[in-house]
Amino acid sequence: MARILIVEDEPDIVMCLEEDLRRQGHDTRVARDGSEGLALGREGGWDLVLLDVMLPKMDGFDVCSELRKAGVMTPIIMLTARVQEAEKELGLDSGADDYVTKPFSLRELRARIRAQLRRADRHEPRVVRFGPCEVDFDRAALRRSGQPVDITPQELRLLGVFLRNRGRVLSRDQLIASAWGHGVAITDRAVDTHVFNLRKKIEPEPSAPKFLLGVRGLGYRFEDEN
């Protein structure tokens, strides 16, 4: 199951994509113009973006290159009715991972989506170490100084978001979007509670954290041991 952002303005295509992807067990959200697509894409938390080229407000190529400039590394598949090779190259130059020409068959698109999700999976390090901790994402296990520590699936997802964004300040909204999912009703307070609990598991001294730091007025930042 993946979280897929569909950026597409044609209602028929949106309907057909949403229905098919949901039937495959994926979670979808739709942006109907380029600027909404860019905003949602930037929030992060997606496993894949399906991005139409001809869009109101901002075209798909620009959305794609803006997302890459913003450091968003989510796989992007461009959907386009335009078949010229020059444009295909432009699509790849703008940082897209693949390119599907309309009209496409759902079967073909599904195969391309699977390929991108598999690729993205391989890029993600499955065992990550910091300080005395070792996180094994495949086994959903945390060890500290060699000793197993209980960690909930939600804490593990949250820790994964921090580890993928070391050194970056993450707002509570970004954390909610990435670790819980878009449209999930989670309060800022609940985020703080999870961070508090996570600190007890990873910090040698939870009241004086050295990995999971609070940034006043902004959110949190994960730092490797200084």
For the record, the structure tokens of 8 come out as 């597409």
For the record, the structure tokens of 68 come out as 């890459």
Q: State the residue for tokens 């444009």.
A: 87
Out of 52, 66, 97, 155, the only residue in the binding site for Ca ion (CB under 5 A) is 52
Q: Which stretch binds Ca ion (CB under 5 A): 50-58, 108-116, 147-155, 201-209?
A: 50-58
Residue nearest to Ca ion (CB): 54
Q: Which stretch binds Ca ion (CB under 5 A): 5-13, 57-65, 122-130, 186-194?
A: 5-13
DSSP letter for 97, please. S
Rounded CA separation 64/144 (Å) = 40
7 or 72: CB nearest Ca ion:
7
Do 76 and 69 meet the contact criterion of CB atoms below 8 Å apart?
no
Q: Based on the shown chain and the rule CB under 5 A, indicate whether residue 155 belongs to the binding site for Ca ion.
A: no
Neighbours of 87 (CB within 10 A): 15
For 120, the enclosing helix (H) or strand (E) is: helix 106-123
Q: Which stretch binds Ca ion (CB under 5 A): 9-17, 150-158, 198-206, 209-217?
A: 9-17
Out of 32, 42, 54, 210, the only residue in the binding site for Ca ion (CB under 5 A) is 54
Q: Based on the shown chain and the rule CB under 5 A, indicate whether residue 9 belongs to the binding site for Ca ion.
A: yes
Binding site residues, Ca ion, CB under 5 A: 9, 52, 54
